[in-house]
Amino acid sequence: MGKLILTVSGLNEYAANLMRRDFVLRDVKVSGELSDVKWHTSGHLYFTLKDESALIRCVMFSRDAELSFVPQNGMHVIASGHVSLYVQGGQYQLYVKDIEQQGIGELFVRFNKLKEKLESEGLFDSSHKKRLPRLPKAIGVITSETGAVIKDIIDVTTRRFPTMPIYLYPVKVQGIGAAEEIAEGIRVMDSMKLADVLIVGRGGGSMEDLFAFNEEIVARAIYECSIPVVSAVGHETDFSIADYVADMRAPTPSAAAEICVPVLEELYMKLDDLIEDIKNSVSNKLKQERRSNELMMRSYLFKRVHAMVGGEKRRLAGLLKERTLHMEHKLNAERLRQEAVFKALGALSPYFALKRGYAIIKHGEKYVSSADMIENGDNLNIIMYDGVINATACGKETYDGE
């Protein structure tokens, strides 16, 4: 006899029936830490129970989900229900009828302790938050190079601002060493100054998946970064330590890109509007000035001032003409006086004496004014009005000047 051949559905149904008939699995209590808690719009509650080495998917239908507390990631609970197989998905899970809150899980305790510590040190203070640039020269992204996050950021950025540069620093976003890589990425991007704003984040996940962003080393790297940092960790309902320290929190990585990157077309439109506003403002100002000038020119005071200015101009013109004539008379008188002086000075000039037949005698560099200054044989220069005669003294006679 050959082996029984089952369909996938048949196999899953068979496994589900075995679980339903099992005495332990029909009514079981499971202790663990809540993770990845999600409320569906139908009212159903989906979550994961986990301990140090394993996890199990859980569902609690809306008819049973009226609880005395709000389930949150990190809570330690005891879930009561039965174990079965979800036939369509082939997934083994716990169908929960009731949840008892037992305590707070280890990760949640660590989260709260670090949050309180950093808050007391002032790392969350709004006074330390830096403003995001309105028009960054480039965007820096610190996330996994293989996840959907970088793709979403690139898609949103290129749609909003096609020429915006994006610099990726690839890091692990969960697991051992992830926090150290994220912190190092922040420090490197800060030192290189390639971007004006950094987006640090990853996609959604359970609390343990996101916990790299709850580590102190990442928080301090964000706080010490001189470039504004936008935290985009998980989904809208997920909060991390990085969110509290960052200069701004984005509900999703796509939203982070929208926060950081302006729409280029909108900037052009705003610029056009601004130019138009300036033109209109200048035009209106000129119109107002023109109307003000026209009103002033038509006013009695302006006409009176105009008439006064006209009369003053005529008076000044008369004064100017009078002063001009006075100056001309003075100049003519001065000219006649100077001519008389020149004539008087000319009469005293040796040149006019030479014209009358007199001469000037020089012996070397000396002018001869007496016969006693000459000896026989001296070379003399006799200066006439039209030239110089060279002569030699052959003798001399002296006589009384009278």
Q: Three-class SS string for 274-312?
A: HHHHHHHHHHHHHHHHHHHHHHHHHCHHHHHHHHHHHHH
List average pLDDT for each run of 10 residues in the chain, which is 402 residues long. 80 88 90 90 93 90 87 88 90 93 74 93 95 95 93 95 95 94 97 96 83 95 97 85 96 94 88 85 84 74 68 78 82 78 64 74 82 82 83 78 52
Q: Which pLDDT does position 400 carry in this prediction?
A: 65
Q: Return the half-sphere exposure (C-beta side, CA atoms, 13 A cut-off) of residue 26.
A: 6
Q: What is the dihedral of CA 79, 204, 172, 52, to 10 degrees?
A: 0
How far is Cα 256 from Cα 311, in angstroms, rounded to an integer?
75
Its pTM stands at 0.52
Q: Which pLDDT does position 289 carry in this prediction?
A: 82
Q: Which pLDDT does position 104 carry in this prediction?
A: 59
Contacts 24+ apart (CB under 8 A), 106-111: 106/33, 107/33, 107/74, 107/207, 107/208, 107/211, 107/214, 108/33, 108/72, 108/73, 108/74, 108/75, 108/207, 109/74, 110/214, 111/74, 111/207, 111/211, 111/214, 111/241
pLDDT in tens, 318-373: 788 888 888 888 888 878 877 776 666 666 666 667 777 778 888 888 888 787 78
Identify the helix (H) or strand (E) that includes residue 121: none
Do 240 and 214 form a contact (C-beta atoms < 8 A)?
Answer: yes
- Can you tell me which residue has the tokens 């060279």? 390
Comparing CA positions, the residue from 72, 53, 63 lying closest to residue 95 is 63
Q: Which pLDDT does position 242 carry in this prediction?
A: 96
Residue 93: strand, helix, or coil: strand
Comparing CA positions, the residue from 99, 96, 10 lying closest to residue 56 is 96
Q: Which pLDDT does position 46 carry in this prediction?
A: 95
Mind listing the domains of the chain with CATH numbers?
8-104 (2.40.50.140), 110-125+133-264 (3.40.50.261), 353-392 (no CATH)
How far is the CA of 165 from the CAs of 140, 158, 161, 230, in angstroms? 9, 9, 9, 17
How far is Cα 81 from Cα 29, in angstroms, rounded to an integer?
7
Amino acid at residue number 161: F
How far is Cα 218 from Cα 362, in angstroms, rounded to an integer?
112
Do 56 and 93 form a contact (C-beta atoms < 8 A)?
Answer: yes
Q: Return the half-sphere exposure (C-beta side, CA atoms, 13 A cut-off) of residue 40.
A: 12
pLDDT in tens, 362-397: 888 888 878 778 888 888 888 887 888 888 888 877
Enumerate the H helices of 90-135 as residue ranges. Answer: 106-120
Sheet arrangement for strand 366-367: 366-367, 360-363, 379-383, 388-392
Pairing mode of beta strands 91-104, 55-60: parallel
Identify the helix (H) or strand (E) that includes residue 160: helix 148-160
Tokens of 70: 């709000």
Do 245 and 124 form a contact (C-beta atoms < 8 A)?
Answer: yes
Q: Which pLDDT does position 342 carry in this prediction?
A: 65
Average pLDDT, the chain: 86
How far is Cα 160 from Cα 177, in angstroms, rounded to an integer?
34
Enumerate the H helices of 210-262 as residue ranges. Answer: 216-224, 241-245, 253-260
Buried/exposed 152-169: b ≥16 CB within 10 Å, e otherwise = bbbebbeebbeebebebb
Comparing CA positions, the residue from 261, 146, 241, 277 lying closest to residue 198 is 261
How far is Cα 108 from Cα 125, in angstroms, rounded to an integer?
22
Do 350 and 383 form a contact (C-beta atoms < 8 A)?
Answer: no
Torsions phi, psi of 338, nearest 5?
-65, -35
